[in-house]
Structures are given as C-alpha cells and as structure tokens.
Structure 1
Amino acid sequence: MLIPLAFAACTAKRSAGLIAASLAFTVLTGCGQPEEPRPELIPVKGTFAINGKPAEGAMLVFHPANGEEFDVRGTRPRAIVGQDGQFSMTTYQSDDGIPAGEYDLSVLWFDNPDSSNPHDKLGGRYAAPGKSNLHVSIDENTTELAPLTMAGVRLATRRPRTDSADFDQVD
C-alpha cells in the first residue's frame, strides 16, 4: 500500500509543477496579443496661468478636438503645471510628449490632490473638454506652446466640514 501512495504523491507533485510552469509561461508571455501600436509623440512644453498667476498643480487634459481616439484605450495626454507655471506633456510615460493633432483642454486644479477629499479650486467648471475655451494645435514642428491663460476666473471656496467624523482628517 505504500507504493501506490508514494506514486500518487509523486504524480500529484509533477502535475502541480506542470500547471505552475504552464501558468508562469502564460503570464510571462502574455495572451499572444500583439502590443498596440502607439502614435508618434512630440515632446512639447508650455506655460499655464490663471488670473495672471502660475496655476501650480493644475492638471491640463488634452482631448482630441475631432473626437477620434489615437489608441484603443482612449488615452488622454495631460500635464501638471509646476510652481513656475511650466509644464511638459505626458501621454504614456512622464514627459514623453503628445501626438500631433488638434486638442480641446479641460482643467482641474485641486487644492490637495493627495487628500481623500480633494477640492477643485475651479469648482469643476472647466473639467469638460471645451469648457475652458483653450484649444491647441500640435504638429511635428511644435516644441513649445504659446502661453495658455485663463482670466477672470472665480475660484471656488471649500465649504467647511460639518461632519464631526471628518475633523480628524488632514486634507
């Protein structure tokens, strides 16, 4: 009776090993799908100000003006404005650029984006494409955009918290 049990244990270990190896091979090689082709990216920089001051931390999202996608994931080029008002375009990896095309911009400007409850200083008024009235055209020769500005913008104030359970949270 010991021989059949030992044989069964050995066979089970071998089967488990084959399954694990097969799974590892599948994970490492992917599902056989070819990698999606990405558009050529153009490194572009610019500046952004609201009411004449650099909008540090504002996020600009570039939406294709014609509504067409340049990849199947619907990726949107974006930029985060620095302390001096400057930004670099990011599509897939930090500062990698933007595909050529026409874009309508949306703008979000959170007071503390790392918070569990961030507050958009613009009150969400410019979160949809076209609402900011900012439009840019990118071609293969574009390296720097003309300064982007929004004037006469009323900043939204954060309403004080009324739920005492939130008073221990730091935003």
Structure 2
Amino acid sequence: MQIQQTVFLTLITFSMFSCSSPEEPFTKKTYPVKGKITVDGKEPGSPIQIQCLNTGEIDTEHPTASGCNSSNDGTFELSTYTTGDGIPPGDYVLTFVWKKFDIMSRGYGGPDKLKKRYDKPEKSKIKFSVTEGEPTDLGVIELTTK
C-alpha cells in the first residue's frame, strides 16, 4: 500500500511539473508619456487622478486601461502595465479628478476639487497622440478650479 501511494504521488508530481507553463499575457508595446499638472498656476500639493482614454477604435481582443496619479508637485508618467511604462500608440484624451486621500480607507473621497471640469472625456480638452517609437512630453497642463 505504501509503495502504491509513493508511486501515485510521484506520478502526480511529475505530471504537474511536466505540463507546459501558461503563455505570458499579451502586452502591447508602450511608449513613455510624461507631463506636469498645475492648478490655478501652482503645484497641486496632493495627487490628482489621471485617466487616459483612447479616442480611436477600441481593441476588443486586447483592451488596455492607462492612467496614473500625479505626484504632489504635479508631475506624472502614464502607465498601462507597470508604473511609468507608458501607453500604446494611438489618440488619447486625459481626464482628471482631484479628491482628498483618506489614509484610513486608503482611497480617494469627497468632492472633486476641480469641480468636475475634467472628469469626463467629452469635457476634457487635453488630447494628444502617441507615435510608435517616440516618447511624448505633454509639458505643463494648466487646470483650474475657477
């Protein structure tokens, strides 16, 4: 009985390690996109949530979601798969939401300090294109609370 169990466990272990490993998830080539946000001519002093939305045709087979939070001084690097990796080539619009960070819930809440001026793609005027093989510097993006 003991030998049968040992043989059975050996076969199971061998079959687990001899199976082919799953394929790596599909990732698109990304290119760096950076910029800086100011609010009413000043550094924001706390993070602003940035969402990057593709204005072109949606890739239903391999969709991506890109965005980031700015640093306290307003600088940012957009991300798709890992922090600061950039975004795939295409045409985009940025949305911005600036809420208070709640340390207890580790999330953002309360009213949008930008008064929802930039929270929807149809409201935002911050549009740009990413070209294959080239980093994109969006420069200074001036937002306002007034």
TM-score bin, normalised by smaller chain: 0.7 to 0.9
Per-residue CA deviation, residues 79-123 of structure 1 (Å, 9 max, x unaligned), is 321122111121111211222211122223332265426315417
In the alignment, structure 1 residue 18 sits paired with structure 2 residue 49: no
Question: What does residue range 73-88 of structure 1 map to in structure 2 within 5 Å?
Answer: 74-88=63-77
Cα separation, partners in 2 of 1:48 and 1:23, compared to 1, 3 Å: same
Q: What is the alpha-carbon distance in structure 1 between the residues aligned to residue 15 and residue 60 of structure 2? A: 35
**Structure of higher CA gyration radius:** 1
The 5 Å alignment of 1:64-143 reads: 64-69=54-59, 72=62, 74-112=63-101, 115-116=104-105, 118-122=108-112, 125=116, 126-139=118-131, 140-143=133-136
Higher strand share: 2
For 2:60 and 2:35, the matched residues in 1 are separated by: 22
TM-score (norm 1): 0.66
From the two aligned structures, give the one with the greater helix fraction. 1
The question of whether the paired residues in 2 share the 8 Å contact of 1:108 and 1:120 is answered with no
Distance, in Å, in 2 between the alignment partners of 1:71 and 1:149 is 35
> What CA distance in whole angstroms lies between the structure 1 residues aligned with 2:50 and 2:77?
10
After superposition, the Cα gap between the structure-2 partners of 1:133 and 1:15, relative to the gap in structure 1 and judged at 3 Å, is same
Gaps of 5+ in 2: none
